[in-house]
Structure 1
Amino acid sequence: MRTILSIVLLFFCALTFAQTTITGTVMDNNGLPIPGANIIVTGTSSGNVTDFDGGFTLSTDSNPPFSVQASSVGFSTEVMEVTANNQKLNFVLQEGSILDEVVLSASRTPERIFESPVTVERFGLKEIKNTASADFYDGLENLKGVDVNTNSLTFKSVNTRGFATFANTRFMQLVDGMDNSTPALNFPIGNLVGMIETDVQSVELLPGASSALYGANAFNGILFMRSKSPFDHQGISASFKRGITSQEAAGDNPYTDVGVRIAHKFSDKFAAKVNFGYLKGTDWAATSEVDKIDPTRTRANTNYDGINVYGDEVSTNIRAASGLGFIPDVVVSRTGYNERDLTEYNAQSIKADWGLYYRPIEDNSLEISYVGKVGTGTTIYQGTNRYNIDGFFQQQHKLEVKNDNFFIRGYEVSDKAGDSYDMVFTGININRAWKSDEDWFGDYIARYAEIELSGNPLGLSTQQKHDAARAAADTGRFLPGTPEYKAAFNRSINDPDLSTGSKFQDASKYFHSDANYNFSHLIDIAEIQVGASYRKYNLNSGGTIYTDNDGPIEYSEFGIYTQIQKDFEFNEDMSLKLTASGRFDKSELFDGFFSPRLSAGLTINRDHNIRASIQTGFRNPTTQDLFIGLDAGRAILVGSAPENLDRYVRTFGVSQVGQDQFGQASTVTQTGANAYNNSYSANSVTDFANSGNPALLEVANPDIIKPEQVTSMEIGYRGKFNKLIVDFSTYYNKYKDFISQEVVVAPYYGVAGDNGLSLAAIANGDFQTYSAYTNSEADVNSYGASLGLSTKVFNGFDLSGSYTFTKQDFDSETYPDFQTNFNTPEHKFKASFGHTEVFKNFGFNVAYRFSDDYFWEATFGNGIVPEFHTIDAQLNYKVPSLKSVIKVGATNLTGNEYFTAFGTGFIGSMYYASLTINNL
């Protein structure tokens, strides 16, 4: 703390006395100003950026003569000589192509996107300012090959190349080098606690495996978000957005999004910045009453389980429960509550970050920085159940030392669940607060038996008998809006014990450090990098998510890597870049894994580049895969770390038939080991129940989990034909030890496969359903291709389009219990048309997206996601005198509501107007 206070004092005390002042402008080849262009004294760290009118003032200690460089993403770089004090420089930058843009992520070193050894997508300042989406994060869904699944208004999950749920542990999101995933959930929750738009410098996205440089979680892709440096972008900038969201289920509701950035360069050595963001709206309401298992069933069905109806997950076989032969052999579920009665659909995000930056050596890139980030918000998350994430809090703190050749950083990420709760268990436990499951089913059976024993004098049909039994059991039930309901609701969401409550409780964290050194300034023969990383987890849910009742669970992992890159110049028109990378990672829970990558990029005639790569990747099981112990209603989730199996303990009641006919005790105690050592597959139990044929039962006993592996091969092309820019890639992925969950059934008595007592247990309903984390023996492969085209038409209009094909290869008939969660449309098409300045100060952009229908499968439920088409559009007007941009826009202009995942609310339209000030 003393060190930080000292630095802060130096910020306000340090002064330098400039000897030379330069002014000027930076324009494009059409005479239009380029705001935000970088102006740097060549060979030094002295610099500034142009203002809204393209003007700049630069003061430096350097004495003439010296050179000044002007550059901006998407334009050429120009250099001019300064020969006197107070000289005026007027730069004219030629507009370049997107192939000239520089990316950092592909090789951990700056390089033109044209020469990148692997596929990379970039979203720069121009794209951010002109996106037709409501904000920059939503705008990522317009990138080639990118899927954005909407969980809620403030929680969207980015993914590439398939295999994703909202719990997207296969995809990594980095903000200025920090992993943005939450310690509790093990994946990023969109941009809920991420970046403020006015501070975003660039966004890069690597599709596919990148373990060779980035480690275990870089399995399906990485999203890199980089913020603006206060040395280069100073002043106060702000964005104010106001509008409405419109949805049939929720109506029209106000939407507000505010972002403020304050940055100041105190001298060439000290700079600081602060960002603040606030968003508030109403979430997309999820109101489906379609039955999860059988869409043809209605609420009149005895075993109804509505998609967005909760509490009806509790069910039992009423004949087995009663032991009476004249009671129907059917499963009956309790009456549930609609989701809209269990949440107010608030969507809110409040986030802030700050940074102190110190460059101790003049004309040297060495920089020492401290960055802090905090965020809190309310959103809807869909995992095994639907969760109201209320007041979730996450913070990050990073110390970093870096220059052009190395970096060393360490950061901590911690979270608190706030007032979050599980809506499914809220519905279940409101019911139980009114009447226990035993009493409710007892009342149901009693009324049905009364009708039967009385000879059914009213001549009721079977359906009417069940309706009468349900009405009797529901007499006095707490109704939404009543004081009794509100009191039971409040008790539930504040109780972390899932047998009586639904509170989501967690205060987990992890510490991460990594370092990288690039030897290119010391070695001429090739560019060589080496690096390492270390991470330590501390899981602390108080036994509500993980099996950490007796204290936090800790474990760690580390990795080391190297990369060698060599350019071969054959002549002026042809060159070859070869890259070889390798990384070794080791978790204390698993054997070490080596992941190599080889790539080659051949440049022909300067305008055409052909690339090819092969790499292996791996994915360590997540914290939940290993240590979860959570009763999710329909199944108990038990992680498969060996020490976790016996740590999860639960007592269950045995049916009356099991007690009377088979001599069993009234209760039985099981551990998580039963799921892995004494279980049948869930599908075979269903087949047995439907047919009565015990030969259909299949012993499951899944193996405990181990890391998943992938071998990825990719071929691509980037080039331009006059004004047409082409980017094509195709890939093939082969997976080994694919990680997934297998639903199994563990009998309360007997041994699975004994053809005796365990069969009786299954027949009597004396069993528990588990969701086990394991690896499949199935061969899982995926392949696909993407084609992107962009050009300028009609004298400066931007026109672009992309097509993506994605397919999985998996034998589902042989492995019916195994879900890959591919969750990706086979065909996607995207297009955009716009102009940054169709006439003076006026621009627009229109974006179109098409998604083919696809099958969504996840722990919450499975179902078809129908195809959809959307159109987003925006108009913008620059007001140079106010250094501002006024924008009006709309998303989903057609108003045709759609959804991207089974179980979520339909996505409606958004209409907004925004004012952005001084965002350079």
Structure 2
Amino acid sequence: MRTVLLVPLLLLGAIAFSQTNVKGSVADENGEPVPGANIIIVGKAIGTTSDFDGNFLLQTEEEPPFQLRITTLGYSDAIAEVTTNNQTLAIVLTEAQTFLDEVVLSASRTPERIFESPVTVERLGLKEIKNTASVDFYDGLENLKGVDVNTNSLTFKSINTRGFATFANNRFMQLVDGMDNSTPALNFPIGNLVGMIETDVLSVELLPGASSALYGANAFNGILFMRSKNPFDHQGISVSIKRGITSQEAAGDNSYTDVGVRAAYKFSDKFAGKVNFGYLRGTDWQATSEVDKFVEGRTRTNPSYNGINIYGDEVAQNIRSASGLGVIPDVVVSRTGYNERDLTNYKAESVKADWGLYYRPIVDNSLELSYVGKVGTGTTIYQGLNRYNLDGFFQEQHKLEIKNDNFFVRGYVVADKAGDSYDMVFTGINILNSWKPHRQWFADYISTYAGIELSGNPQGLTTQQKHDAARAVAEQGRFEPGTPEYQAAFDRSINDPNLLTGSKFQDASKYYHADANYNFSHLIDFADIQIGGSYRQYSLNSGGTIYTDFDGAIDYSEFGIYTQIQKGFDFSEVMSLKITGSARYDKSEFFDGYISPRISAGLTINRDHNVRASVQTGFRNPTTQDLFIGLDSGAGVLVGSAPENLDRYSKPYDVSSAGQLAGQPTTITQTGAAAYNNSYTESSLEEFAATGNPAVLASADAIANPNLIKPEQVTSAEIGYRGKFGNLIVDFSTYYNKYKDFISQESVAAPLYGTVGDNGLSIAAIVNGDYIGYGTYTNAKADVNSYGASLGLSLKVFGDFDLSGSYTFSKLDFEQEKYPDFTTNFNTPEHKFKASFGNADLFENFGFNVAYRFSDDYYWESTFGDGLVPEFHTVDAQINYRVPSIKSTFKAGGTNLLGDEYFTAFGTGFIGSMYYVGWTINN
């Protein structure tokens, strides 16, 4: 028995004897610990990280002597010699003089100094995340140069660069560890609602402008890369807790809670895992505008009133056309709607979790296999065609990946479910219809008004008083908010996916994606050469509530392949040139293939000055909504432009009394094809409404009949400079974008009878109000160009204080007057200015930061509505204090400290102030 026991003991002893132990600490020049530093054996994929106090322990089978490389963002690399077992090291890192030495991956799909990047790159690292004056890292992106953050709601913010954005921002791509986190249902990112947890964020990189040459069709206007911490490199348990309030004039003061937990453990040199959990809850910014959506100064007393945040008043009729009575005035009357605050509780919530298993099968090799799963659910407000309450919206992602330093192959699936989400506009419309059918309501209104006129108006009522009297009669018995009848109608509507009677947003779409990349730089000395490709298959499944998929899921696919060659030339010790060329071929099953080339050059002088120039083309395939949407908003119908989609959308419409007298049936069924094949321009209807002259519809220019959609293209040229002058860092770029076949929506009107251009029956249909308004998806006939520039300056002042500022100029070049029916949705201010001032170590363990932002006024265009966004100024600030003995950082801050409420898009709630305190442990 002793012999049996002795053998394993001897083996264990031999293993222990062969193991090398190295311990030590990592600190900065002031003796402050540096947590999260990477300690890696040079030439191996073996290492560890420093803990909150800067201490580390490395156990390895590598026998001395060997070297350790110590790296972390914001500091210069250090090398330490390990000569004996059980050696103790004291590592001192010197702060990097400039962020230009930081390494980025996004610009060329390969690690390189941000200084030498061939295109503009903005970056947010661990240091910047820690010191952001915003409430979290995602909000902190709005302090980056050239970045627009449009606030849809408290938990849904849309990132964009260089213009052309709505909240349905499908021109901008967002990747989390290589996975696209656009929702399958909506085909665009929904901010960080189901995204990353702050304690797990390693870095954020942002490429403004076209990036199609490497990243495909969706990377048309910019791309955001978020990278998480690998459990092999970042271990332990981290917790972040924030508590505070949101303050808004409309909503008052409400509590705010944000909690994040990360747990990571390296079980051995081969196996590691991590788990993250995040929870956020607050009260959303309430949207309470009662300003008329279309006519400035029109109030609720006007018969045609349509309030911005009042829903149900989209239901309107020309009461003369509807009645056919000459005593009835020729005016449009709308139903009395409900305020948005009566249709939602403004709950803002996000619950998300992710986990990962990582396996490195070969010691001293970077080969890694991993599985990552992510789930998230949340409640927020989304503004698209209408205003939507996304209640319990759920999204999940699952990824398998194998990679090493030279290649990766990954595949993932993204699926969503709409939960209990609903359209607030249709909720208002269908509560009204549930109480009193629209036809009956207008009949009551018309009969009351006609009765006053036919009786000779004995009371001498004014026109306004006649309308008031007619509305009062029609409104008798109305369901009022707070009553059981109202609540029952509300519940019926939000649980009914049929938009004729309900408002439930129903969806269970998904897409499957695979991509791969191989870098031949370790095999070829001539140049760095990469090849790669991707494939995606969509499966749309909204049950006919968003898309025309009422008879089953709609499936389609697209793929792309690319290559890149990068070559450096050293002319002298002080001057070098790097040239990068890349090209990508993409093909959707609906369209011809397209090649996106890019060429760039970067000239580096004395390591402190770099001039870069690039020319590239990009393209954008029409989105799932561009192709297959079929949605009646109440105020208009959106119909996608895929040829097979045109007749898939079909709906019966009531014909006016005047139309019936002219020989038309009571109802006429119209398909979406009418929008593209038999329609008038919106501008011609506006001119007819203003002049009352039907002859304006007889012009050939009044015929719309937009072309079916095809891919959009852009040619982008950019010149930039990065440089260092002592303590001053300069980063400048300027660009010019020229678009071809610009994808846009064109508003048209399709008559229920007649053929446009017949100068007869179709014009009569318009005169009688027998037409349907459509939003079509097509390509602009006009030339659309944009250009701009940005300048960023940062320097050290008064010793260790950080002062930085940036200015961004953006301009649209488009002949709006010549093409009034096209909307570009440029939606960005011409001038933006941002500045920050702070010190991460004002005194021992104490730091602060103050950030200022200015936005010029701009005009917002979207399917929900158009309007001016006034200029605004906002100030955010934070102070933080580190307590190393308990591995904690305490933070207190506030946003919009000036208290001047503002908004970034037409129709959203005003953004108030936030005040919070936070406690982060061991991060």
The match for 2:161 is: 160
Contact 2:751–2:762 (Cα < 8 Å) also in 1? yes
1:92 shift after superposition: 1.6
What letter is aligned with 1:918? N
In the other structure, the counterpart of 1:811 is 815
Q: Which residue of 1 aligns with 2:500?
A: 499
Aligned to 1:271: 272
Letter in 1 for 2:742: F
What is the distance in 1 between the residues matched to 2:568 and 2:749?
Answer: 58
The equivalent of 2:741 in structure 1 is 737
How far apart, CA to CA, are the structure 2 residues paired with 1:410 and 1:244?
A: 41
Deviations 1:236-269 (A, max 9, x none): 0010000000000000000000000000000010
SS at match of 2:683: helix
- What CA distance in whole angstroms lies between the structure 1 residues aligned with 2:394 and 2:23? 45
Matches within 5 A, 1:693-772: 693-697=693-697, 698-772=702-776
Aligned partner of 1:606 in structure 2 is 607
- 1:453-464 counterparts in 2 under 5 A? 453-464=454-465
The AA in structure 2 aligned to 1:824 is: T
CA contact (8 A) 1:874 1:889 kept: yes
1:27 partner letter: A
Deviation of the 1:50 alpha carbon: 1.1
Shift of 1:690: 2.1
Aligned to 1:690: 690
Does the residue aligned with 2:43 lie in a helix, a strand or coil?
coil
User: Separation in 2 of the partners of 1:606 and 1:348?
Assistant: 47
SS at match of 2:245: strand
Q: Does 1:789 align with 2:793?
A: yes
Is 1:24 the counterpart of 2:24? The answer is yes
Q: What residue in structure 2 maps to residue 10 of structure 1?
A: none
Q: Is the 8 A contact 1:45 1:268 kept in 2?
A: no
* C-alpha separation in 1, matches of 2:476 and 2:652: 30
Give the whole-Å Cα distance in 1 for the aligned partners of 2:296 and 2:764: 31
Q: Is the 8 A contact 1:408 1:514 kept in 2?
A: yes
Tell me which residue corresponds to 2:125: 124
Query: Could you report, residue by residue, the CA deviation over 1:342-363 in whole angstroms, capped at 9, with x for unpaired residues?
Result: 0000000000000000000000
TM-superposition CA deviations, 1:402-461 (whole Å, max 9, x none): 000000000000000000000000000000000011100000001101111111111110
Contact between 2:694 and 2:767, CA under 8 Å: does it hold in 1? no
Give, in angstroms, the shift of residue 28 of structure 1: 1.8
Give the counterpart letter for 2:431 in structure 1: I
SS at structure 1 position matched to 2:355: strand
- Give 1:16 shift: 8.0
Q: Are 2:69 and 1:81 aligned?
A: no
Query: Cα deviations across residues 849-901 of structure 1 (Å, max 9, x unaligned)?
Result: 00000000100000000000000000100010110000000000011100000
Q: Distance in 2 between matches of 1:695 and 1:355?
A: 67
| Residue of structure 1 in register with 2:11 after alignment | none
Give the TM-score taking structure 1 as reference length: 0.98
For structure 1, the residue ranges without an aligned partner over 5 or more in a row are 1-14
Output the amino acid matched with 1:257. D
Instruction: Give SS of 2:823's match.
Output: coil
Is the contact between residue 841 and residue 877 of structure 1 (CA under 8 Å) also seen in structure 2?
Answer: yes
Deviations along 1:210-244, one digit per CA (max 9) or x if unpaired, are 00000000000000000000001001001000000
Q: After the TM superposition, list the runs of 4 or more consecutive aligned residues in structure 1 that deviate by more than 3 angstroms.
A: 15-18
Q: 1:295, CA displacement in angstroms?
A: 2.1
Shift, 1:806, TM fit: 0.4
SS in 1 for 2:822: coil
1:883 corresponds in structure 2 to: 887
Match of 1:898 among 892, 897, 902: 902
The letter of the residue matching 1:441 is: F
Q: Does the 8 A contact of 1:750 with 1:756 survive in 2?
A: yes
**1:310 to 2:311 alignment:** yes
Any idea what the Cα deviations from partners look like across 1:453-501, whole Å, max 9, x if unmatched? 1111111100010001001100100000000000000000000000000
Name 2:232's counterpart in structure 1.
Answer: 231
User: Which stretch shows the higher mean deviation, 686-695 or 581-590?
Assistant: 686-695
Structure 2 residue identity aligned to 1:24: G
The Cα shift of 1:42 comes to 1.2
**Cα distance in structure 2, aligned partners of 1:708 and 1:672:** 22
Letter in 1 for 2:733: S
Q: Secondary structure at the match of 1:288?
A: coil
Q: CA separation in 2, counterparts of 1:663 and 1:295?
A: 38
- Distance in 1 of aligned mates of 2:683 and 2:472: 32
Q: Secondary structure at the match of 2:464?
A: helix
Corresponding residue for residue 285 of structure 2: 284
The answer to whether residue 918 in structure 2 is matched with residue 917 in structure 1 is no
Matches within 5 A, 1:37-48: 37-48=37-48
Q: Given that residues 614 and 712 in structure 1 are in contact (C-alpha distance below 8 angstroms), is that contact kept between their aligned partners in structure 2?
A: yes
Query: Displacement of 1:106 after TM fit?
Result: 0.1
Q: How do 1:303-702 and structure 2 match up within 5 A? A: 303-660=304-661, 662-697=662-697, 698-702=702-706
Aligned counterparts of 2:389 and 2:563: Cα–Cα separation in 1: 43
Cα distance per residue 1:244-300 (max 9 Å; x no partner): 000000000000000000000000100000000000000000000000001210000
Match of 2:863 among 859, 862, 870: 859
Structure 1 residue 90 displacement after superposition: 1.4
Contact 1:172 1:221 in 2 (8 A): yes
CA distance 1:16–1:658, shift in 2 (3 Å): farther
| SS of corresponding position for 2:405 | coil
Would the aligned equivalents of 1:742 and 1:774 in 2 still touch at CA under 8 Å? yes
Structure 2 equivalent of residue 104 of structure 1: 105
Cα deviation 1:8-66 (Å, max 9, x = unaligned): xxxxxxx9857111111212223322111111111112211112222211111111111
Give the letter aligned to residue 840 of structure 1. E
In 2, distance between residues paired with 1:312 and 1:541? 26
1:75 partner SS: coil
Q: 2 CA distance for matches of 1:669 and 1:479?
A: 34
Q: Check conservation: 1:388, 1:421, Cα contact below 8 A.
A: yes
Q: Does 1:61 align with 2:61?
A: yes
Distance 1:707 1:187 in 2: 17
Distance 1:434 1:50 in 2: 66
Paired-residue identity, %: 77
Tell me how far apart the structure 2 counterparts of residues 558 and 371 of structure 1 sit (CA, whole Å): 23
Pairs aligned (count):
905
Whether the 8 Å CA contact 1:699–1:753 is kept in 2: the answer is yes
Task: Say whether the 8 Å CA contact 2:510–2:538 is kept in structure 1.
Answer: yes
For residue 647 of structure 1, give the secondary structure of its aligned residue in structure 2.
Answer: coil
Deviation at 1:86, TM superposition (A): 1.3
> 1:16, 1:267 within 8 Å by CA — same for their partners in 2?
no
Cα pair 2:540 2:549 within 8 Å, conserved = yes
Paired with 1:666 and 1:830, the residues of 2 have a C-alpha distance of 60
Q: Using the alignment, how far apart are the partners of 1:901 and 1:290 within structure 2? A: 15
Give the counterpart letter for 1:82 in structure 2.
V
User: Could you report, residue by residue, the CA deviation over 1:386-408 in whole angstroms, capped at 9, with x for unpaired residues?
Assistant: 00000000000000000000000
Letter in 2 for 1:727: D
> What is the match of residue 780 of structure 2?
776
- Structure 1 stretch 268-277 or stretch 49-58: which is displaced more? 49-58
CA–CA distance in structure 2, aligned partners of residues 181 and 202 of structure 1:
19
Q: Is the 8 A contact 2:890 2:917 kept in 1?
A: yes
Q: How far, CA to CA, are the matches of 1:654 and 1:902 in structure 2?
A: 33
Paired residues of 1:212 and 1:616 also in contact (CA < 8 A): yes
Question: What secondary structure, in the 3-state scheme, does the structure 2 residue paired with 1:278 have?
Answer: strand
- Contact persistence 1:492–1:503 (CA under 8 A): yes
Distance in 2 (CA, whole Å) between partners of 1:587 and 1:552 is: 18
Tell me if the contact between 2:152 and 2:383 (Cα under 8 Å) persists in the aligned partners.
yes
1:682 CA displacement: 1.3
Q: Give the alignment's TM-score, normalised by structure 2.
A: 0.97
**CA offset at residue 674 of structure 1?**
0.3
Structure-2 residue corresponding to 1:844: 848
Counterpart amino acid of 1:692? G
Q: Give the SS at the match of 1:245.
A: strand
CA contact (8 A) 1:278 1:349 kept: yes
- Counterpart CA distance in 2 for 1:125 and 1:370 is 24
